């Protein structure tokens, strides 16, 4: 923002008459009530960092480029179209002129009804100020949205006649007005005014176009909705020359012509946009289900989610895959995880990120860093099923982690890895909330039509960086070049690929294919592609992930999800005010309460069968499920889980410290059928051999009371790699380490047991390895957090107080004060003035420099002056403060009417 802009929009005049129209943005803000200022700060929280000293500083900050870009990006489509129309209107513009740009000559009742709200929204967010007869966009917004050769406008309009002829010779301007049938003038300014008057006069403009040939009108038709630029040859065709000679096309360079804005508006019937969208698209219904069917389907998915998470983390009980040097999981490990879960790699990445976001999975932080479950996973397993579900979906709803990006590339072309550091996208929580809220606007049991849902989201937050074409060639026989992107934000990309990157600043360029003058294909704005911007992709991922998690069933929002969002459960309604929501943890508890009756009830028994299998007729209770997972292997999952007993699984149970009798008692207690004889024989047979061999650390050794068994091992060729040799009749020494020796002998068909240094059997447990305590990843904020009511009230009070101090009328101090500077008085004069003010109870204006060297001006009412300090009520801070006299630069009395 330049100095002139600051002067026009933020300068505080010496006096403003009561009821007078504001002349600056600062004056417009000063005329607002406290609620109006709070609404501005709530809509644009970046203005609060730090709290402005006064309204002048607030106005200046509201006009900075970064803040204006952020505000524009959060406008809905019609509010943005309104701002774009104002950017091509005269500055200032009356409300009637703005209405004409949006409705055109024919009018539009919907636009007429919606425009007051859009203007009020722009005014509330300090993007627009002034009365209805003098509407002004802030300078930065106009610069961002107004058309230029380097920055095409979303309206598709070009420069005005005055702008396009700025560098044209006076003689050439006179030739144009003469050819157009206008009277010659004595100066180029009046000539341009005459040409502008012709193009804005509907009757005379219609008569001029009646003289044009069909070919010339065809050239105008191709440029009228943008882009307005076209390239011509050195010897343009007659239709183009006819248009050029009459100023209907004006030269930008030797081979580029532009359609003036006034001509385009006439051809459009006065409309700035081809398709204004004053009303938000309605989310359609794809299919209706009974709410009970939706809730049942969602509950089934919720149960499947819990089973999948348990299966994933249980497989990593002894440690998961290694962490890449750059962070995240390798593609090979992701493929292995997907194969183990029998899902796609993209779906495996989602389950991994879900566990990571809930704090159930993390890296162990060791030198050879690996992934493993956290201690929170064990606490999570002890919760009831519905609460475990709530502990997963609540972090998902707030997380900025975006698993849908896994497998893509970042801005530098590097592959994005699951659990990697580059998967945070700040808009993700907002998009997830909004998608679910829009589903909640439908009747219970209604599944949304996805395309209408995405259309609504694009209307509420239009994609950034709408693609625009490069100068289109207007002459017959000329082609057109590739599209050049444009965007009003810092992330505005170039070309049709703008917005396809995965970085936080990725924009959303999109476009359709149109034909140039000679039939060439070009990209033009106007046909959105939902795959091209991050928010649309987030919306698609949200629908899929919500179905996986059981928040939706068959595409319709389930009852527990409504509770999670704190939305009405019985009747569909528009989502309530966000500010009145309860805490997410409380809402998650309500959702769990609704889900609990829908989940299958846990059982405490199995059905043993003669083929060495056990059938669990439902989800098993936690102690039984853990014990059975050690004793048997899962063979198949579904409505009833089938477990198979094998020698390896029985040996695993014996390794965990259980005896054969313990296993028999366990099966007898938890089986509704008698223990089959083959299973009893299997347990006894494995137990009889278990521990017959003992392995310890020598490097490693094998000992056995039966020396013939050791002889068999030495004679077996398969033991050669273990480097065994006999130390004693009952002891073998090995060159291999104990773990390798243990696995080698088991592979040979033996059932050895590991031994501790004291000679006891070493008991191993499946859940022995956990990471140190880890916290769940913190979401990456999308800009400054929304301020609460307390902060807003304090900020408004501080800004008001600072503004009173800055605008108070003061008596002239002894030393003159430079514009915007602090008062300067000697130490004696300062002391005398504040002492007099303390005695009379009056307020004074002081300049103050704190310990950090920051200067400010304040209005204080001194009550005590002693010991080199002045204590008084600070009107700027609205509290009693004490100031060292040596830090007061000067003091001045306030005018009588300000005291």
Q: Give the separation between CA 25 and CA 29, rounded to whole angstroms.
A: 6
Burial 697-721 (b: 16+ CB within 10 A, else e): ebebbbbbeeeebbeebeeeeebee
Give the C-alpha separation, 770 to 376, whole Å.
9
**Token pair of 632, please?**
């048997």
The tens digit of pLDDT for each residue in 572-601 reads 333 333 333 446 678 888 999 999 999 888
Residues 6+ apart with CB under 8 A from 280: 76, 456, 459, 460
Q: Is the pLDDT of residue 709 over 50?
A: yes
pLDDT band at 789 (very low <50, low <70, confident <90, very high): confident
pLDDT band at 492 (very low <50, low <70, confident <90, very high): very low
Helices (H), 384-533: 385-398, 428-440, 450-460
Q: Residues 509, 463: contact at Cβ < 8 Å?
A: yes
Closest listed residue to residue 195, CA positions, set 158, 240, 248, 239? 248
Query: In terms of C-beta density within 10 A (0-12 exposed, 13-18 middle, 19 or more buried), how is residue 602 classed?
Result: middle
pLDDT tens, residue by residue, 351-384? 999 999 999 999 988 888 999 999 999 899 989 9
> Is the pLDDT reported for residue 704 higher than 60?
yes
Contacts of 897 (CB under 8 A, 6+ apart): 809
Place of tokens 């890296």: 363
Dist CA 370 CA 320 (whole Å): 6
pLDDT digit string, tens, across residues 44-89: 999 988 888 889 889 999 999 999 999 999 999 999 999 999 999 9
Instruction: Give the integer Cα–Cα distance in Å for 491 and 510.
Output: 14
Q: Is pLDDT at 15 greater than 80 in this prediction?
A: no
Name which of 195-209, 421-435, 714-728 the model is least confident about.
714-728
- 309 vs 22 pLDDT, higher one: 309
Residue 284 is predicted with a pLDDT of 95
458, pLDDT greater than 90: yes
793 has pLDDT over 80: yes
CA triple 809-815-819, angle to 5 deg: 55
Cα–Cα dist 128/119, whole Å: 8
Residues 6+ positions from 488 with CB-CB distance below 8 Å = 69, 72, 144, 145, 151, 464
Mean of the per-residue pLDDT values for the chain? 82
Instruction: Take residue 526 and report the two structure tokens written for it.
Output: 């106007």
- Identify the helix (H) or strand (E) that includes residue 220: helix 214-223
- The answer, yes or no, to whether residue 899 has pLDDT greater than 60, is no
Nearest to 600 by CA among 307, 290, 309: 307
Check residue 112 and give its pLDDT: 94
Q: What percent of the chain has pLDDT over 70?
A: 83
CA dist 125 and 141 (Å) reads 12
Place of tokens 């998915």: 301
Chain-centroid distance of CA 520 in Å reads 37
For residue range 416-434, list pLDDT tens digits in order. 999 999 999 989 999 999 9
pLDDT interval class at 691 (50, 70, 90) = confident
**What is the pLDDT, as a whole number, of residue 809?**
59
Q: What Cα–Cα distance (Å) separates residue 379 from each residue in 303, 317, 383?
A: 18, 14, 7
Radius of gyration of the chain (CA): 38
Helix 291-314, helix 331-341: angle, nearest 10: 120
Q: Is the pLDDT of residue 495 over 70?
A: no
Residue 198's pLDDT band, with cuts at 50, 70 and 90, is very high
Contact 57, 12 (CB under 8 A): no
447-451, 557-561, 745-749: which has the minimum mean pLDDT?
A: 745-749
- Rounded alpha-carbon distances, angstroms, from residue 808 to 12, 651, 788: 11, 88, 30
Confidence of residue 463 (pLDDT cuts 50, 70, 90): confident
Verify cis geometry, omega within 30 degrees of 0, for the bond prior to 855.
no
Q: Which of 103-107, 259-263, 556-560, 576-580 has the lowest mean pLDDT?
A: 576-580
pLDDT over 50 (residue 520): no
CA 234 – CA 676 distance, rounded (Å): 97
In this structure, the chain runs to a length of 899
Burial of 473 (0-12, 13-18, 19+ CB in 10 A): buried
The structure tokens 């008085």 sit at: 825
First to last CA, the chain: 36
The mean pLDDT value for 674-679 works out to 91
Residue of 264 and 485 predicted with greater confidence: 264
Per-residue confidence band for 814, with pLDDT thresholds at 50, 70 and 90: very low
Residue 519 pLDDT exceeds 50: no
Give me the torsion for CA of 564, 570, 575, 577, rounded to 10°: -80
Using CB atoms within 10 Å of the CB of residue 853, give its burial: 0 to 12 exposed, 13 to 18 middle, 19+ buried: exposed
Q: Assess contact for 357 and 400: CB atoms under 8 A.
A: no
Give pLDDT tens digits for 531-541.
348 899 999 99
How far, in Å, CA of 795 to CA of 52, rounded? Answer: 8
477: pLDDT confidence band, cut at 50, 70 and 90? Answer: very low
How far from 158 is each of 96, 226, 722, 782, CA to CA, in Å? 22, 8, 83, 34
Rounded Cα gap, residues 202 and 482, in angstroms: 35
What whole-number distance in Å separates Cα of residue 512 and Cα of residue 523? 5
Give residue 569's pLDDT: 54
Q: Which helix (H) or strand (E) holds 709?
A: helix 707-715
Taking the CA atoms of 33, 38, 43 and 48 in sequence, report the sign of the dihedral they define: positive
CB 775 within 8 A of CB 359: yes
Structure tokens at 379: 């606490």
Sign of CA dihedral 80, 84, 90, 96: negative
Rounded Cα distance between 47 and 62, Å, is 7
**pTM (two decimals):** 0.74
Best CA proximity match to 226, nearest among 476, 466, 497, 459: 466
Q: What is the pLDDT of residues 305-346, one digit of tens each?
A: 999 999 899 888 888 899 998 899 999 999 999 999 999 999
When pLDDT is averaged across residues 631-639 and rounded to a whole number, the result is 82
Q: What is the mean pLDDT of residues 750-761?
A: 77
Q: Which residues pair with 870 in a beta bridge?
A: 865, 883
* Both tokens assigned to 367: 């030198």
């Amino acid at each position: 923002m330049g100095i002139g802009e600051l002067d026009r929009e933020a300068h505080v005049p010496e006096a403003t008459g009561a009821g007078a129209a504001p002349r600056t943005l600062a004056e417009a803000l000063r005329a607002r009530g406290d609620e109006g200022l709070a609404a501005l700060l709530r809509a644009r929280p970046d203005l609060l960092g730090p709290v402005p000293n006064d309204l002048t500083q607030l106005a200046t900050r509201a006009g900075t480029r970064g803040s204006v870009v952020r505000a524009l990006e959060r406008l809905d489509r019609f509010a943005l179209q309104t701002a774009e129309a104002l950017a091509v209107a005269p500055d200032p513009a009356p409300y009637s002129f703005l209405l004409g740009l949006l409705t055109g000559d024919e009018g539009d009742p919907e636009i007429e009804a919606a425009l007051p709200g859009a203007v009020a929204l722009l005014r509330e967010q300090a993007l627009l100020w002034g009365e209805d007869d003098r509407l002004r966009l802030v300078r930065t917004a106009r610069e961002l949205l107004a058309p230029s050769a380097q920055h095409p406008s979303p309206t598709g309009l070009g420069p005005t006649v005055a702008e396009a002829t700025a560098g044209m010779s006076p003689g050439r301007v006179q030739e144009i007005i003469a050819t157009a049938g206008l009277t010659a003038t004595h100066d180029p300014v009046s000539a341009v005014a005459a040409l502008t008057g012709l193009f804005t006069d509907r009757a005379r403009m219609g008569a001029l176009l009646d003289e044009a040939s069909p070919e010339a009108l065809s050239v105008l038709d191709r440029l009228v909705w943008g882009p307005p630029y076209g390239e011509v040859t050195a010897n343009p065709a007659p239709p183009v020359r006819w248009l050029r000679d009459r100023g209907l096309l004006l030269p930008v360079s030797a081979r580029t012509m532009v359609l003036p804005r006034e001509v385009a508006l006439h051809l459009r019937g006065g409309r700035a946009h081809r398709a204004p969208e004053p009303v938000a698209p309605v989310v359609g219904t794809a299919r209706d289900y009974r709410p009970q069917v939706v809730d049942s389907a969602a509950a089934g998915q919720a149960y499947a989610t819990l089973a999948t998470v348990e299966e994933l983390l249980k497989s990593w009980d002894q440690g998961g895959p290694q962490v890449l040097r750059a962070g995240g999981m390798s593609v090979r490990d992701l493929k292995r995880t997907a194969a183990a879960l029998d899902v796609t790699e993209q779906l495996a990445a989602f389950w991994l990120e879900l566990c990571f976001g809930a704090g159930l999975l993390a890296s162990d932080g060791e030198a050879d860093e690996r992934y493993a479950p956290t201690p929170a996973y064990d606490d999570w397993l002890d919760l009831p099923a519905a609460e475990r579900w709530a502990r997963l979906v609540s972090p998902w709803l707030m997380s900025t982690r975006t698993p849908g990006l896994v497998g893509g590339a970042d801005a530098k072309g590097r592959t994005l890895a699951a659990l990697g550091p580059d998967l945070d996208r700040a808009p993700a929580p907002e998009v997830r909330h909004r998608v679910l809220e829009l589903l909640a606007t439908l009747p219970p049991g209604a599944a949304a039509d996805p395309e209408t849902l995405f259309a609504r989201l694009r209307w509420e937050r239009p994609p950034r960086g709408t693609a625009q074409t490069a100068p289109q060639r207007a002459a017959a026989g000329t082609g057109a070049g590739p599209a050049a992107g444009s965007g009003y934000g810092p992330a505005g990309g170039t070309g049709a690929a703008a917005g396809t990157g995965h970085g936080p600043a990725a924009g959303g360029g999109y476009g359709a294919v149109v034909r140039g003058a000679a039939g060439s294909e070009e990209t033009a704005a106007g046909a959105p592609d939902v795959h091209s911007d991050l928010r649309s992709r987030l919306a698609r991922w949200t629908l899929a992930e919500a179905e996986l998690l059981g928040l939706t069933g068959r595409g319709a929002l389930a009852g527990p999800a409504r509770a999670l969002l704190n939305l009405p459960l019985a009747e569909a309604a528009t989502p309530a005010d966000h500010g009145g929501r309860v805490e997410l943890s409380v809402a998650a508890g309500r959702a769990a309460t609704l889900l609990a009756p829908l989940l299958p009830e846990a059982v405490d028994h199995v059905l043993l069968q003669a083929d060495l299998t056990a059938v669990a007729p439902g989800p098993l209770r936690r102690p039984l499920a853990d014990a059975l997972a050690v004793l048997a292997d899962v063979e198949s999952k579904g409505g009833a889980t089938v477990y198979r007993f094998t020698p390896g699984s029985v040996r695993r149970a014996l390794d965990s410290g259980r005896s054969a009798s313990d296993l028999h008692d366990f099966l007898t207690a938890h089986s509704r059928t008698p223990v089959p004889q083959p299973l009893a024989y299997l347990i006894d047979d494995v137990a009889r051999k278990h521990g017959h061999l003992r392995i310890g650390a020598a490097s490693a050794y094998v000992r056995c009371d039966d020396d013939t068994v050791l002889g068999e091992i030495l004679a077996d060729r398969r033991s050669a790699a273990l480097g065994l040799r006999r130390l004693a009749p009952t002891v073998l020494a090995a060159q291999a380490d104990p773990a390798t020796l243990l696995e080698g002998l088991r592979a040979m068909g033996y059932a050895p047991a590991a031994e501790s240094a004291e000679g006891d059997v070493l008991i191993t447990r499946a859940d022995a390895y956990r990471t140190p305590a880890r916290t769940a990843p913190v979401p990456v904020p999308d800009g400054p957090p929304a301020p609460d009511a307390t902060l807003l009230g304090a900020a408004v009070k501080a800004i008001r107080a600072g503004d009173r101090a800055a605008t108070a009328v003061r008596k002239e101090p002894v030393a003159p004060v430079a514009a915007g500077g602090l008062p300067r008085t000697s130490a004696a004069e300062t002391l005398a003035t504040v002492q007099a003010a303390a005695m009379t109870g009056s307020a004074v204006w002081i300049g103050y420099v704190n310990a950090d060297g920051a200067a400010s001006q304040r209005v204080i009412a001194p009550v005590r002056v002693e010991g080199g300090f002045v204590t008084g009520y600070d009107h700027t801070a609205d509290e009693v403060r004490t100031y060292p006299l040596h830090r007061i630069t000067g003091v001045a009395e306030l005018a009588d009417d300000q005291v």
